[in-house]
Amino acid sequence: MSIGIALWQLFHSYEYIVIYTLIVLIVLILWDYVPYRKEVSKLKDKLSDTSDMLSRTESGLSAMLSLVPYITIYPLDDTVHHYFLREEHYIIQGSDATYIWRMHGRNVSSQNSESITLKSVGNGGNISREEINLTVYDEMTNSFYDKKQIQFIQDEPNSKTYRIYFSSPLAPQDEFKMKISCRWNDVFSESKMHDYVFSPGGYICKCGLEKLILRLTIDMPIKDVYIDALEEGQLMRQSSKPRILENDSRHTIVEWTKENPKGIYILHYTKIVVHGKRN
């Protein structure tokens, strides 16, 4: 107030008084706005944390639902073959994915073995057996299996179960090595910040699995990569983290290895987005 009176005595001008009054009002507004802005910022942070928590919870629940075919659709496991290696590679491009499995095993039963069974799941992506285009490559004879050797024993829109017949029955102690691949489109939502892939290998291979390799290739940078294990009915975070093999603005490759696995392993990850767009 005293500054306003001094200005009037010096200049006797209403313009200076109006300007002074406006400056005072602006200062008062800013004085009140600063703590308000801080409260709004805190509220935004809380909402962001809540949204992130809900997104992670949704991803976790989705992972649990994806396991349903493995624990409800027969055959539930493999009690005929011992596996030296089971390598599972998931390649994600946009919303589409390619699944690649490499398996090296041996018939440990007392009878000839004619086939192995494989299951795949694609939540949210309804696909026909023709579109999935399953192929099997024999790494011992360097030849592809005939389509007649692949039988669909369960064919639902978002889950498939295949029986793959060997070219000739495996006698006890005979080995097999094969690479299996299929395509599953529109299965990974590009809008989901938190997502996952998983391996049921340790749960399925009841006669033993010596080494499991779980690999993810995705066409964007990711962070917060970790493994949850479902073993003996308990979900436990694994202390060992996936190794980052490649990581740049265009793609990321991570890999996790487990010796003598006994359960189902879920690889979680968070996408890195810049300015609301995929980096």
pTM exceeds cut of 0.85? no
How many CA within 13 A on the CB side of residue 96?
A: 8
CA-to-CA dists, residue 271 to 52, 168, 173, 190, 274, angstroms: 12, 45, 44, 9, 10
Predicted pLDDT of residue 235: 86
- The tally of domains found in the chain comes to 2
Q: Do 44 and 137 have their domain in common?
A: no
Has residue 260 got a pLDDT over 80? yes
What would the mean pLDDT of 158-163 be, rounded to a whole number?
86
What would the mean pLDDT of 252-276 be, rounded to a whole number?
89
Q: Do 89 and 174 have their domain in common?
A: yes
Has residue 13 got a pLDDT over 60? no
Q: How far is Cα 220 from Cα 205, in angstroms, rounded to an integer?
A: 33
Q: Determine which of 151-160, 213-222, 263-272 has the lowest per-residue pLDDT on average.
A: 151-160
Q: Do 205 and 266 have their domain in common?
A: yes
Predicted pLDDT of residue 86: 97
Has residue 56 got a pLDDT over 60? no
Q: Do 200 and 266 have their domain in common?
A: yes
Element (H, E) at 223: strand 222-231
Q: Do 52 and 181 have their domain in common?
A: no
Q: Do 59 and 196 have their domain in common?
A: no
Predicted pLDDT of residue 10: 47
Q: Do 173 and 250 have their domain in common?
A: yes
Q: Determine which of 10-24, 169-183, 189-203, 237-251 has the lowest per-residue pLDDT on average.
A: 10-24
3-class secondary structure, 171: coil
Is residue 72 one of the residues assigned to a domain?
no
Contact 4, 20 (CB under 8 A): yes
Has residue 151 got a pLDDT over 60? yes
Predicted pLDDT of residue 191: 81
Q: How far is Cα 225 from Cα 63, in angstroms, rounded to an integer?
A: 15
Q: Do 151 and 55 have their domain in common?
A: no
Q: Do 115 and 238 have their domain in common?
A: yes
Predicted pLDDT of residue 160: 86
Q: What residues make up the domain containing 41?
A: 2-64
Is residue 71 one of the residues assigned to a domain?
no
Q: Do 106 and 26 have their domain in common?
A: no
Q: Do 266 and 171 have their domain in common?
A: yes
Q: Residue 115: beta bridge partners?
A: 165
Is residue 70 one of the residues assigned to a domain?
no
- Domain final position from 16, 34, 64: 64
**Residues 69-113 pLDDT 10s:** 666 666 678 999 999 999 999 999 998 999 999 999 999 999 999
Residue length, the chain? Answer: 279
List the CATH number of the domain containing 214.
2.60.40.1730
Predicted pLDDT of residue 249: 79
Q: Do 135 and 217 have their domain in common?
A: yes
Is residue 34 one of the residues assigned to a domain?
yes
169 versus 277: the higher-pLDDT residue is 169
What is the C-alpha end-to-end distance of the chain, expressed in Å? Answer: 55
